[in-house]
Amino acid sequence: MTLDDLRAFVAVCEAGSLSAVARDLGCTQSAVSQRVKRLEREAGIGLLERRPRGVAPTPAGRILHRAAADGLGGLDQALRRLADMREGDGGTVRVTTGATTVRHFMSDAVVAFRERHPGVNLEFHTESSSRRCFEAVAGGDSELAWITIGPPVRGIEQHPVIGLPWVLAVRAGDPLAARDRVEPDALAGLRLIRLPENSTSRMRLDGHLGHRDGGSVLQGDGGLGVPLPGEAAPVPGPVPEVSLPGPRPSGEPLPGPRPSGEPLPGPSATSVADWDTALLLAELGVGHAVVPRLPGHRATAAHPGLRLVPIPALPPLTTGWAVRQWAALSPAAVEFAETVNRCLVGGQPDEYGPGPAKARSATARSATARSAAARSVTSEPPAPGSR
């Protein structure tokens, strides 16, 4: 049994395909298969089972996969730290983030860090979900990942950094744009622009409003029970399923934004992949977007028609770092993370449109204090295949 055997086995478990791993490693499928068979001989038990499309680990294989992935990830991280020690003030800090994270959360920190540590390389890898960020950290591909803080994940430490107050993004001419705040019950009946159901921030928001995935209203789970578009108000008894409207007919053009600021006609909800797109569509009048107030999203000429109205009744969305072990991070990674933390806590985002500055500042300070006081989320084993 060699490290290369274990690496190949872990890759096969994650890809579900011998041929795909062979392509990635630049070898034959037979060579990959031989590595797995060698592990099976030494373990004395089958580790993979064939399926109609690819392969999957057996119960014994899942045990080895979990242990090998953890061990290899820690070993790779240790080898990188040794390389950093050899290179003195050099080395590389690898960070996994969302598509717009650097722009909103890290731009000032990147400049400050590079000024102090010009010999350290920064590598940013983009992933589409917190789950993929966790996998990058657990697999040793990144030391740091910026995530929305969520439920515990086995083998991962989550360290809260900043709480982001929720706001309602609307066109400047919208009747809600002139308000100093919006209550959650005002969201009922709005045409909302929403993130995917499996995103952590979407699940957090639905939990605050009192919703299950798919739009059903939760009955008494700490949520506010606010019906979203296409939903019935909370009532005793079973909640009926909701059917969303189908897609627009092929070739039918999307109307332009209305000067009055009213949402466009069309489906009751629009789904987007990131907050920036939600803000853009809200400015165009496609609908309303409930989003966190993002650091670094400053009012510019590029967004003259957008207003962000605070929703203070919703608890802030907490974001921060995911790492394997904070104590095991390289000195450069710790320095970069702490630089990001200082820049975020020391500065708050600009606003779009009117609103009492003192109230906004107090909300931001309160959110920051809550996140700074929070302890890191410790890791627990999830169920196999859980997200």
pLDDT (tens digit per residue) in 299-325: 445 567 889 999 999 999 999 999 999
Tell me, what's the pLDDT at 354?
A: 34
d(CA 350, CA 356): 13
Q: Are 134 and 156 in contact (CB under 8 A)?
A: yes
Statement to judge: residues 172 and 161 lie in one domain:
no
- On whether residue 226 sits in a domain, the answer given is yes
Statement to judge: residues 307 and 193 lie in one domain:
yes
Statement to judge: residues 223 and 288 lie in one domain:
yes
Q: Which two tokens stand for residue 236?
A: 């005793």
Statement to judge: residues 130 and 265 lie in one domain:
no
Statement to judge: residues 180 and 115 lie in one domain:
no
Tell me, what's the pLDDT at 269?
A: 64
- On whether residue 46 sits in a domain, the answer given is yes
Tell me, what's the pLDDT at 91?
A: 79
Average pLDDT of the chain is 75
- On whether residue 356 sits in a domain, the answer given is yes
- On whether residue 32 sits in a domain, the answer given is yes
Q: State the average pLDDT over residues 107-116.
A: 93
Statement to judge: residues 364 and 326 lie in one domain:
yes
Phi and psi at 306, nearest 5°, equal -110, 140
pLDDT at 288 over 60: yes
Statement to judge: residues 103 and 205 lie in one domain:
no
Q: State the average pLDDT over residues 285-296.
A: 86
Helix and strand numbers (H, E) in the chain are: 11, 12
Statement to judge: residues 190 and 302 lie in one domain:
yes
Tell me, what's the pLDDT at 92?
A: 86
Statement to judge: residues 45 and 22 lie in one domain:
yes
pLDDT at 47 over 80: yes
Statement to judge: residues 41 and 181 lie in one domain:
no
- On whether residue 144 sits in a domain, the answer given is yes
d(CA 240, CA 233): 11
- On whether residue 387 sits in a domain, the answer given is no
pLDDT at 172 over 60: yes
Beta-strand relationship, 269-271 and 192-194: parallel
Tell me, what's the pLDDT at 345?
A: 84
Helix, strand and coil in the chain, % to nearest 5: 40, 15, 45
DSSP characters over 117-132: -TTSEEEEEE-SSHHH
- If pLDDT is split at 50, 70 and 90, which confidence band does 335 have? very high
Statement to judge: residues 100 and 155 lie in one domain:
yes
Read off the CATH number of the domain in which 352 is found: 3.40.190.10
Q: State the average pLDDT over residues 247-260.
A: 41
- pLDDT tens readout for residues 13-29: 988 999 999 998 889 98
Q: Are 138 and 156 in contact (CB under 8 A)?
A: yes
Among the candidates 272, 297, 315, a domain finishes at 315
Among the candidates 22, 44, 72, a domain finishes at 72
d(CA 27, CA 19): 9
| Residue 175, CA distances (Å) to 53, 81, 268, 298 in order | 54, 55, 18, 23
In terms of residue numbers, what domain contains 5? 1-72
**Which residues, other chains included, contact 259 with Cβ-Cβ below 8 Å and sequence gap of 6+?**
173
pTM: 0.59
Read off the CATH number of the domain in which 68 is found: 1.10.10.10
Among the candidates 295, 315, 335, a domain finishes at 315
Burial class from Cβ neighbours inside 10 Å (0-12, 13-18, 19+) for residue 112 reads middle
Statement to judge: residues 171 and 311 lie in one domain:
yes
- pLDDT tens readout for residues 192-230: 888 877 778 888 888 888 753 344 332 223 344 444 444
- On whether residue 274 sits in a domain, the answer given is yes
- Per the structure, how many domains does the chain have? 3
- On whether residue 239 sits in a domain, the answer given is no
